[in-house]
Chains A and B, each alone.
Chain A
């Protein structure tokens, strides 16, 4: 049976909440003995996703749930909230009504999330936004 470790962090969708979640992940990954490379890649991606949720998602007193799950050789970080449908990778979605001169498609941050991690999936189910980021603990695939 592959071992499964789950650690849950609940934070507010605010700058303080982002800081808390990132600190928690840092501690968790060090405690689990994850490589620096993996830890850093996830931190970059998590910072991007949480910042987008905070900036463009639901109200700032909304709660965001971040789960770190290690199952077998994979680490998955899941970010969930109960705001109206919002995919952090589509940010800034709210501005599609603005004139086209303004930057409304993906930015550098989104590119980083996509490129740094093996799998990134978004879904909106049961009234919740869920973003799942997965990568291998060891022997990770080429990320060129």
Chain B
């Protein structure tokens, strides 16, 4: 039974109210069921309760009397229509009892069985309703809609766990007005999330769980019910529903319903979040696959065997895309070539490698001296070089008629020349600094002769640093052995060396991009 009253307070005009609670404190305190902003009224002055089918009044203040029809009361009195209560200079008149506009709490169940089956029905219904949601925001809105329909709070918020581990509001709903930011006690959140247990807070003023939580008391929050969204995978978030003073008071039964709702919701939230994650991953994988194709297509096509030079190469990135590069082309009387390695791997290195390749092609043309190409590339790369970018490279020209090689070693792995049945030898090439480190470095070139039948092999440290499943590294010796033992054509050489590295590294993840370039001067 709700109580209709007229309030006359020194503070303002007379006002009619319907008290829907069955237990209403009248006083100056902000959390009172009926607040009288009157300095002469005590913080908790009197209390109205609905018991035994009637409304009763009792005085709460020992020093500040409550008058019922002008007589001080010292024990609970039944109230009748027309009774006037005086507290300080305020007055409350009883206008009558009436049917509550809606149940102050969910209908009291008649039996435990009924309650159980009602919960199951709710679960099924919620499941069905939530199953229609396909996006996370849509799902959260649906969850709140269900909460409002079943539990009638004034405000509701779903908090979700962020990747950083904090709990942040992800969706809000208000009974009236547009959804906006909602005050939620951090302490309550921490308690519910920390313990993974639901919480029911009856009266913010005296619940010690919220003691010191100024935010909720000031906004007059009175009744709060919160349940974690939790499944076997862990805590996903929380649902928090609240109502202000005098409007709605949650009970244990309400909490049980919310817990049921939350368990159905948790499953859906998990599924939808996983589906979204999987979709994002697929998009990323597709993009990387496209990037890989683009990078591979940037590599020069195998050139048909020429009378003066045979070429073969391979590039195996550690990830979809990488920081290694090889390039070559015929330019009249000479053959230009490069093998390079950007420090680092992945997308950043690959993007940068595209720049280096373009630079090489732009600088290395006609009869530009190799040291000049080095200087130009280096100047471009080294501009604004805070991070001391590190691109090692071995590049130069092979004169087709004479077999003379001019080469610059910018901090790269040593080149090796092999003749069939003959020894391996490392041409003496002066070492320069890697590209990009010192803007105006003076590169020095090495010159040697590639005899007919000899193959020049360039590689990156992915080849020597390849790791086996037992954590041993392939090393320079094994690489030289593989080169020496290979068949004398460049494609056979590249193929058998790659096979040797792959066999050695079976079972271990590839840590670095592997590149090989073999250039042979036919016999």
A106 touches B349 (CB 8 A): yes
B323 touches A105 (CB 8 A): yes
Say if the beta carbon of A32 comes within 8 Å of chain B.
Answer: no
Say if the beta carbon of A111 comes within 8 Å of chain B.
Answer: yes
Say if the beta carbon of B214 comes within 8 Å of chain A.
Answer: no
A82 touches B390 (CB 8 A): no
A89 touches B473 (CB 8 A): no
B residues less than 8 Å from A126 (CB atoms): 165
Question: Measured between alpha carbons, how far is A92 from B391 in the docked complex, in Å?
Answer: 15
A89, A91, A92, A108, most chain B CB atoms within 10 A: A108
Stretch at the interface among B147-155, B220-228, B340-348: B340-348
Candidates A93, A101, A108; contact of B390 at CB < 8 Å: A108
Q: Please, what's the 1-or-0 string for B492-517, where 1 marks a CB less than 8 Å from any CB in chain A?
A: 00000000000000000000100000
Question: Measured between alpha carbons, how far is A110 from B512 in the docked complex, in Å?
Answer: 13
Number of interface residues of A (CB under 8 A): 28
Question: Measured between alpha carbons, how far is A92 from B348 in the docked complex, in Å?
Answer: 9
Say if the beta carbon of B420 comes within 8 Å of chain A.
Answer: no
Question: Measured between alpha carbons, how far is A118 from B164 in the docked complex, in Å?
Answer: 31
A105 touches B352 (CB 8 A): yes
Number of interface residues of B (CB under 8 A): 36
A90 touches B436 (CB 8 A): no
A103 touches B348 (CB 8 A): no
Say if the beta carbon of B385 comes within 8 Å of chain A.
Answer: yes
> From residue 100 to 144 of chain A, which have CB atoms closer than 8 A to chain B?
100-111, 114, 118-119, 126-127, 141-142, 144
Chain A residue at minimum C-beta to C-beta distance from B165: A127
B355 touches A107 (CB 8 A): no
Say if the beta carbon of B476 comes within 8 Å of chain A.
Answer: yes
Q: Please, what's the 1-or-0 string for B383-406, where 1 marks a CB less than 8 Å from any CB in chain A?
A: 111111111000000000000000
B346, B385, B390, most chain A CB atoms within 10 A: B390
A84 touches B164 (CB 8 A): yes
Chain A residue at minimum C-beta to C-beta distance from B392: A111
Question: Measured between alpha carbons, how far is A96 from B350 in the docked complex, in Å?
Answer: 11
A127 to chain B, nearest CB (A): 5
Binding site for B on A (CB under 8 A): 82, 84, 89-93, 96, 100-111, 114, 118-119, 126-127, 141-142, 144
Interchain Cβ contacts under 8 Å between A and B, 27 examples: A82-B164, A82-B165, A90-B344, A90-B348, A92-B387, A93-B348, A96-B347, A100-B355, A103-B385, A103-B387, A103-B436, A105-B323, A105-B344, A105-B349, A105-B353, A106-B344, A107-B343, A107-B387, A108-B388, A110-B344, A110-B390, A111-B343, A111-B390, A126-B165, A127-B163, A127-B165, A144-B464
Q: A103-B385, A106-B349, A141-B472 are in contact. List 20 more A-B contacts (CB 8 A).
A: A82-B164, A84-B164, A89-B344, A90-B348, A100-B352, A101-B380, A101-B384, A103-B384, A103-B386, A103-B436, A105-B323, A105-B344, A105-B352, A107-B343, A110-B343, A114-B512, A127-B162, A127-B164, A127-B165, A142-B473
